[in-house]
Structure 1
Amino acid sequence: MNLKRRQFLFSSTLGAIGTGFVGWMLNHQNHQSAEISDSTAAIAANPPKKDLLLRFVSVADTGTGAKGQYAVARAMNFYHKQNPYDLVVLAGDNIYNNGEIEKIGEVFERPYQGLLKQGVKFQACLGNHDIRTANGDPQVKYVGFNMKGRYYTFRRGIVQFFALDTNSNADWKNQLSWLEKELSLSNASAKVVFGHHPIYSSGQYGSNSAFIKTFTPLFKKYGVQLYINGHEHNYERTRAIDGTTYLICGAGAGNRPVGRSEWTEYSTSDLSFAAYDVYKDRIEVRAIGTNNRVFDKGIIQLKSA
């Protein structure tokens, strides 16, 4: 949705919003408009800075095999050529509609063949559509998704990633015990958790109060700087909430409208993916649309090692 359209929709709802909140929104929107003009630019070749430690991207709700998925995949390919990366966080709903592994060529191997041929590794988790067939077990076993189980962890340099099964039928008791143990043992400077379902969201499903109660104390206690998810077919980045940024990248093949909340830094329904450059003291986030333009930029601060 372009800026003029967002402004029109925003203006049409002013009568229903309190005066103080209106003032906050107007100021924030003006600030965001300035950010858009600064950050919306065609992707250019960006030679890695000498202190760049890791570059990766994330995308979710991809597995349609339709034109939207291919449009985002082309943008991911283009970004890879300009700014090489070798890791994709794939945050669920990898195979629509029912997680049928027989569709893997149509919805994964062909759309991302350019990246796969370059040795880019996808690390997946399970979405709600993925568990409709055999509870997602065929996807867990599929070599291209590099899953070590329904929940698992892996390390890339100073970053430790924690993949979750956020579905309602997950083994929650054991998974949460595992997560706290792994977080407590981690000496990584950057901790990134990803799952399919949102914790904070201004989209169709909204924030999950049970997840807020369950996860946010753990994230705060153990210094998780970033949570990545899909499920909402949009892009949304929050400000840091008790030290954690929540980023939705679920517009990997289709899109739905998204609103704004008091903690929203940026939101849009545009088809897109997110890219991350990791340095010793920060993670630089970029959101990239199918026109190969950066429409959002943010910085996640890390504690210096």
Structure 2
Amino acid sequence: MSITRRQFLIFSSLTGFGLAALGKTLQGHTAQSAAGYAITATAEEAATIASLRLSRPIFRFVSLADTGTGTRGQYVVAKAMTRYHQQHPFDLAILAGDNIYDTGEIQKIEAVFEKPYQPLLDAGVKFQACLGNHDIATDNGTPQVKYAGFNMSGRYYTFRRDSIQFFALDTNYNADWKTQLPWLEKELSASDAPWKIVFGHHPVYSAGLHGSSKKLKQILRPLFEKYNVRLYINGHDHNYERTQVVKGTTYLTCGAGAGTRPVGHSEVTAHSVSKLSFAAIDIYPTHILLSGIDKNNQIFDQGIILLNS
């Protein structure tokens, strides 16, 4: 295996968290991270990842889902997020649904949200949530929509941070798609943000327990392709899965924020694992660096999303 002098200089300059995180595969050879996870990348991808790790992103956020159990699993992931925040500050966390188990009772909010994430909340991290299927079991999720800590301006809504426009969706069985879908297209078409990121609870593509959604493929994928949505984030399946680019969009399942279930591998899967985890997303002018991070703060997956793909 050979590498260019430029790649050698980049790799040899990495230290600490970045070196442990960077699984390098050059010319088809797979390397191991410090935790022993295999991380596969082409030589070009490895060089790009290394280069990005040496520069400062214009924005960083984290995402996770299926969190609201109040169990040990949730708390260990929350602690890992806090440790990550200390090394790599962020001020936004996306909660992709099932924020309160089992039936969305807002009375549990202290145990399943305020206590586990208190250090992050105290540090000024803003959580933006959407509704999952468990959340709507109580009053159709209305108490959560009204809860200030979830920062929801409705069952579906949009907000902008720097050069990124976020779009939160209600993907539940009783979602009002007759109103929501025209709203989404209107907002996507009106946005001049270079990066457009959509999140909802249910997966479009998934090799997990619940699998892919034929309906969401039909109604969302054409809009994502038309308006250059580069990333869709979801939960529902309790695992981590990053897809290959599908018609311009990468699909990220980050539903292992409190517990795990088995996950397989489909024709569009780039990386999947059943491991307590969250995702960190670093935004650059022309790239996104997406990292899967486990409860021990080890990066077990990294992928690149291009602005113009």
Q: Which TM-score tier does this pair reach, normalised by the shorter chain?
A: 0.7 to 0.9
| Aligned CA distance change for structure 1 residues 34 and 60 (closer, same or farther; 3 Å) | farther
- Pair 1:246 & 2:264 matched: no
Query: What is the deviation of 1:49?
Result: 6.1
1:117 is aligned to 122
Q: Distance in 2 between matches of 1:166 and 1:160?
A: 19
- Note the aligned Cα RMSD (angstroms): 2.0
Post-superposition CA distance 1:229-276 (Å, at most 9, x none): 000000000011000000000000010000001111100010000001
Contact 1:48–1:83 (CA<8 Å) still a contact in 2? no
2:32 is aligned to 37
2:81 is aligned to 76
| Aligned CA distance change for structure 1 residues 49 and 160 (closer, same or farther; 3 Å) | farther
Q: Distance in 2 between matches of 1:126 and 1:190?
A: 23
Query: What is the deviation of 1:289?
Result: 0.3
When normalised by structure 1's length, the TM-score is: 0.85
Contact 1:189–1:303 (CA<8 Å) still a contact in 2? no
SS of 1:203's equivalent in the other structure is: coil
Contact 1:92–1:195 (CA<8 Å) still a contact in 2? yes
1:159 is aligned to 164
Structure 1: 4+ residue segments shifted above 4 A = 33-36, 38-42, 47-51
Q: Distance in 2 between matches of 1:40 and 1:244?
A: 29
Contact 2:33–2:299 (CA<8 Å) still a contact in 1? no
Contact 1:39–1:295 (CA<8 Å) still a contact in 2? no
Q: Distance in 2 between matches of 1:185 and 1:252?
A: 33
Q: 1:52 aligns with which of 52, 57, 61?
A: 57
Pairing of 1:190-201 with structure 2 (within 5 A): 190-201=195-206
1:92 is aligned to 97
1:281 is aligned to 286
1:11 is aligned to none
Contact 1:164–1:194 (CA<8 Å) still a contact in 2? yes
Query: What is the deviation of 1:34?
Result: 5.1
2:220 is aligned to 215
Query: What is the deviation of 1:292?
Result: 1.1
Structure 2 runs not aligned, ≥5 long: 1-24, 38-51
Q: Which amino acid aligns with 1:175?
A: Q
Query: What is the deviation of 1:35?
Result: 4.8
| Aligned CA distance change for structure 1 residues 173 and 286 (closer, same or farther; 3 Å) | same
Post-superposition CA distance 1:60-101 (Å, at most 9, x none): 000000000001001100100010000000000000000000
Taking only the aligned residue pairs, the percentage that are identical comes to 62
Structure 1 runs not aligned, ≥5 long: 1-29
Q: Distance in 2 between matches of 1:35 and 1:91?
A: 31
Contact 1:200–1:208 (CA<8 Å) still a contact in 2? yes
1:177 is aligned to 182
SS of 2:221's equivalent in the other structure is: helix
Contact 1:124–1:145 (CA<8 Å) still a contact in 2? yes
Pairing of 1:127-166 with structure 2 (within 5 A): 127-166=132-171
When normalised by structure 2's length, the TM-score is: 0.84
2:264 is aligned to 259
